[in-house]
Amino acid sequence: MAQQLADQGIDDVLLLGGPDEIEECRKIEGLSEARVHNFCGQTEILELIPLCEEAAVIVANDTGTAHVVAATAVPMLIICGPTDPRKVLPAGDRVEFLQADLACINCYRKHCSHHSCMVTLTPEIVVRTLVQRALLKPAPYAGAKP
C-alpha cells in the first residue's frame, strides 16, 4: 500500500504500531520504493497526535491508536475485520470505515481458518476506497510511469 500511496502523490508513509508489530513493519518498510518512516514500537501514546496531524490521510485498524489519532483533523479510513464498526469506530466526522462484505463479518474472532475479512481488503482496494471517497485526492497522472 505504501507504494500505491506514493503513486497517488503521497511522498512519505509513516508506520506506527506496537512492539509486537516491529518485525512486520520492517518487512513493509523493505517492500516499498516509497519513503517509509518506520516508528513502530518507538512512540508513546501522547506522541501520536503531533506525528499524525500533518498527514494527508490516516489508514488504521480498529485499535486504541486509531481512537487517539482521531483527535486530529485528518481524514481516516478504519479497516474493520471481524469487529463491528458501529461499536469500534473512533468518534469524529472525518472517520470512515472499510469492511469486507461477508456473511461472517462482526464475528470478533481473533483467529479463524480463513481470515477472509482482512485478506480480501487488499492494498489496491484500500487505496481505491481512499480515492473514491475523496479521503485522498488522486495525484495528476497518478500511477503513470515516465
The tens digit of pLDDT for each residue in 79-118 reads: 999 999 999 999 999 999 999 999 999 999 988 999 899 9
Residues 26-56: pLDDT tens digits?
A: 998 888 777 899 999 999 998 999 999 989 9
Q: How many CB atoms lie within 10 A of CB 22?
A: 14
The pLDDT value given to residue 22: 93
CA gap 2, 13 in Å, rounded: 6
Identify whether the C-beta of residue 42 lies closer than 8 Å to the C-beta of residue 10: no
Cell numbers for 77, please give them.
479510513
pLDDT score recorded for residue 141: 45
* pLDDT value, residue 139: 53
Q: Are 105 and 82 in contact (CB under 8 A)?
A: yes
Strands (E), the chain: 12-15, 35-38, 58-61, 76-79, 95-98
- Tens-place pLDDT, residues 53-77: 989 999 999 888 899 999 999 999 9
Q: What is the reported pTM?
A: 0.87
